[in-house]
Structure 1
Amino acid sequence: MASIDAILDPAHRDLLDSAIRNVLGTERALETFAQIADGLPLSSVARDGYARRAPYANHPAVARHMSLCPGATEAALGFLSELSLGRTLTFDKALLRAYQWTQPGSGRSFECRLIELMARAVHGLAVLLFQRGHRIHDVVWAAKDPTYTVNAVTRPNPDAQLGPSPFCHPEYAMTDQYPDGVADVVGYWAENRILGGVVLLDRSDSWDDQRNPEPNVFLHSSYYDITFRVWRALDEQQQALVDFLLSRSPAGACPFPLLASDKNLDRIDPQYATSLKVCRDFWERRLPPSNGRFQESHCVRSQLDYPEAYPKPSHKEWL
């Protein structure tokens, strides 16, 4: 791991710094980080998971949480105002070098590395804020109503469907696999809320902008009435995102959340994605069992779930 100052030249560094600040300057980002500082998600946000299956969506305390507690937004603003990209976050050295080797604005390699670094920054900042343990909600409510606190929601619960945190993308809850445990679960949730999904990339080949361009980024969304499948961004979606990241005056041009429509036909069942090397880190989700069988976990499918056009292993490989 390394800071951006240790690897990047000033031009690449400034572009990345500006891109991340453009994202963090959106109302969507502020609301997301304010919820983490609060300690509980807003009821409307918790219920916006795929087919309303997001963990904790119907928990009584979360259902009551209609607005942020006083001080949550201010705590988020204070945290974000402290951001010094060179000191606050570190990134994988290989990723920084790969970004450094690209020519800004030159092609997919630049776009994908910029988007990946931005997504990792959003994730990493959510991790850091969660680790500060603000829990402003408990400051306000612990003495008034012990059933309406963060602890009341997150203490061990007999309902096995609940995730490890009220801030949880249902498909990214493998705390035993994550370097920062539950804090990483919160990081994936923040990506989903701000960007429109967890950002994934196709790692199946060594891409070359001239001979073998890298595919557009993928997103794995958890939103009501949006496909549960991993889906690939259209050219116009990725271009709008890159334009926003590189804009010097991004107000009014925010593309978030990026969500699939019936035009996004390149999709993968989540249980195939890592095997197809569509991921960000190979440890972020569990691979299917060695016998190749998997269970359909979504009993309600939206009209966007099919067809699935992206290549996947032959049926025989998964019997």
Structure 2
Amino acid sequence: MASTYVDAILDRTHRARLDWAVHNVLATERALETFAQIADGLPLKSVALDRRTSYAYYDAVARHTSLCPGATEAALDFLSTFDLGRMLTFDRALLRAYQWSRPESGPNFECRLIELVARAVHGLAVLLYQRRYCIHDQVWAAKDPTYTVKSVTKPHPGSGQFRSPFYLPDYEREDQYPDGIADVVGYWAENRILGGVVLFDRSDSWDDQRNPEPNVFFHSSYRNVTIRVWRALDEQQQALVDFLLSRSPEEACPLPLLASDKNLDRVDVQYATHSKVYRDFWERRLPPAYGRFQEPHCVRDRLDYP
């Protein structure tokens, strides 16, 4: 997958729209809190426990009810120096697809804009994590050496595998990610800021007029939100695009975008890749050959099966 900087492909109009969209997302309080946690080194207790599955570092985050001094400032400093044209690269084919699209083309423009924003959020989280601020350790190393990030994230006994405290259950394949464990953090940041990891229907090469692309999918990791991959409604996708391109985004921020019982177009996670609903083919562990999936649990509740 050949990557390049945005200025190598985009004209001024498309570049300006993308700049503004990323700026609107990064200007939200939720984005600042998310990046501040990465700079801190541990997620907040309220954030870590706001998920459907058990949390591996509960003992550590149970004490982490507020950000360490300096974490928010570090995140602000990092975000203030962000330059989309210099700090991140994107797939050439994605940039060309966005360049060839127009707002009036509808879903195809919307999906490419949302995809670039999701990749920008992910990429920024990767860069911030790689800087290893670890402010939590600076605060606690002398006070309580057993409460440092390093001490609570050492390799698990038996497996020897390291796990970042910023992780989602289905996005921990650091062995197949370009940036390893930092990509695990990137998916976590997407989930917190956007409402889930952003996925797409890759089953066809969509045409603007005759065969418009389906709306984006989200794979959320939140309590009281379905565990299944769900597709955004027309009004949800439109609200998100309006926010991304708005000149007064504080008035109508729909983030995080989450599913309700109205989002009936859903895919079981174990079938998603074979159904070609993904962003990158390698983002999750591939399931067994089609037809040999583990059967989903038989409990039918309104949350997952409305």
TM interval, shorter chain, is over 0.9
Q: 1:213 & 1:166 partners in 2: Cα distance?
A: 39
Q: Over residues 221-266 of structure 1, what are the superposed CA-to-partner deviations in whole Å (9 max), with x where a residue is unaligned?
A: 0000111000000000000000000001101311011000000000
Q: How far apart are 1:299 and its partner, in Å?
A: 8.9
Task: Find the counterpart in structure 2 of residue 13 from structure 1.
Answer: 15
Q: How does 1:154-303 map to 2 (within 5 A)?
A: 154-158=153-157, 164-290=163-289, 292-295=291-294, 303=302
1:259–1:85 distance in 2 versus 1, CA, 3 Å: same
Q: 1:96 & 1:34 partners in 2: Cα distance?
A: 29
Gaps of at least 5 residues in structure 1 are 308-319
Give the root-mean-square deviation of aligned CA atoms: 1.7
1:285–1:234 distance in 2 versus 1, CA, 3 Å: same
Q: 2:81 & 2:176 partners in 1: Cα distance?
A: 30
Letter in 1 for 2:267: I
Q: 1:26 & 1:214 partners in 2: Cα distance?
A: 28
1:273–1:164 distance in 2 versus 1, CA, 3 Å: same
Q: Over residues 192-234 of structure 1, what are the superposed CA-to-partner deviations in whole Å (9 max), with x where a residue is unaligned?
A: 0000000000000111121111100000000001110000000
Letter in 2 for 1:137: H
Task: Find the counterpart in structure 2 of residue 84 from structure 1.
Answer: 83
Whether the aligned pair in 2 keeps the contact of 1:24 and 1:30 (CA below 8 Å) is yes
Q: 1:301 & 1:198 partners in 2: Cα distance?
A: 24
Letter in 1 for 2:37: Q
Matched, 1:53 2:75: no
Q: How far apart are 1:159 and its partner, in Å?
A: 8.5
Task: Find the counterpart in structure 2 of residue 312 from structure 1.
Answer: none
Q: 1:285 & 1:38 partners in 2: Cα distance?
A: 27
Q: Over residues 131-180 of structure 1, what are the superposed CA-to-partner deviations in whole Å (9 max), with x where a residue is unaligned?
A: 000000000001111121101221012387x9721100111000111000
Worse-superposed segment, 27-36 or 282-291: 282-291
Worse-superposed segment, 145-154 or 120-129: 145-154
**Structure 2 SS opposite 1:147:** helix
Task: Find the counterpart in structure 2 of residue 4 from structure 1.
Answer: 6
Letter in 2 for 1:2: T
Q: How many residues align?
A: 303
Whether the aligned pair in 2 keeps the contact of 1:48 and 1:54 (CA below 8 Å) is no
TM-score, length basis structure 1: 0.91
Letter in 1 for 2:223: Y
Q: How far apart are 1:85 and its partner, in Å?
A: 0.7
Q: Over residues 32-76 of structure 1, what are the superposed CA-to-partner deviations in whole Å (9 max), with x where a residue is unaligned?
A: 0000000000000000011x42443x2x11111000000000000
**Structure 1 SS opposite 2:209:** coil
TM-score, length basis structure 2: 0.95
Matched, 1:121 2:120: yes
Task: Find the counterpart in structure 1 of residue 37 from structure 2.
Answer: 35
Q: How does 1:68-147 map to 2 (within 5 A)?
A: 68-147=67-146
Give structure 1 regions of 4+ aligned residues with deviation exceeding 6 angstroms. 297-301
Q: 2:104 & 2:44 partners in 1: Cα distance?
A: 38
Q: 1:188 & 1:301 partners in 2: Cα distance?
A: 28
Q: 1:230 & 1:266 partners in 2: Cα distance?
A: 9
Letter in 1 for 2:35: F
Whether the aligned pair in 2 keeps the contact of 1:229 and 1:270 (CA below 8 Å) is yes
Task: Find the counterpart in structure 1 of residue 24 from structure 2.
Answer: 22
Whether the aligned pair in 1 keeps the contact of 2:215 and 2:231 (CA below 8 Å) is yes
**Structure 1 SS opposite 2:145:** coil
**Structure 1 SS opposite 2:147:** coil
Q: Percent identity?
A: 75
Task: Find the counterpart in structure 2 of residue 62 from structure 1.
Answer: 61
Gaps of at least 5 residues in structure 2 are none
Q: How far apart are 1:304 and its partner, in Å?
A: 1.9
Q: 1:152 & 1:76 partners in 2: Cα distance?
A: 23
**Structure 2 SS opposite 1:251:** helix
